[in-house]
């Protein structure tokens, strides 16, 4: 399962928080490797990771998901 990342919203949220990937990993309680995988694979492999990243970025999870329509 791969939940597609909305890269534009993700990048925007990262910039608003002044986060780099390491900052996001620490704030979300995820490993640097997990954040790297999300960015590299352009998606989330679990809803748990999606929820943690959304919470760290102060956005709703739906904002980080690419609309398939």
Q: What is the CATH number of the domain that holds 13?
A: 1.10.260.40
Question: Which pLDDT band holds residue 64 (cuts at 50, 70, 90)?
Answer: very high
The three-point CA angle 15-46-44 to 5° equals 40
The token duo for 61 is: 């999870």
Residue 65 lies in a domain: no
> Strand, helix or coil at 68?
coil
Residue 69 lies in a domain: no
pLDDT higher than 70, residue 69 = no
pLDDT, one tens digit per residue, over 11-53 is 999 999 999 999 999 999 999 999 999 999 999 999 999 999 9
Report the predicted TM-score, pTM, of the whole model to 2 decimal places. Answer: 0.93
The token duo for 15 is: 């910039």
Residue 49 lies in a domain: yes
Q: Look at the chain and report how many structural domains it folds into.
A: 1
Q: Which domain holds residue 31?
A: 3-59
Query: Residue 8 in contact with residue 42, Cβ under 8 Å?
Result: no
């Amino acid at each position: 399962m791969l939940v597609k990342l909305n890269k534009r919203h993700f990048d925007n949220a990262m910039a608003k928080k002044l986060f780099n990937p390491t900052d996001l990993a620490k704030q979300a309680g995820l490993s640097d490797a997990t954040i790297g995988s999300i960015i590299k694979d352009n998606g989330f492999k679990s809803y748990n990771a999606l929820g943690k990243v959304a919470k760290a970025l102060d956005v709703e999870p739906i904002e980080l998901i690419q609309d398939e329509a």
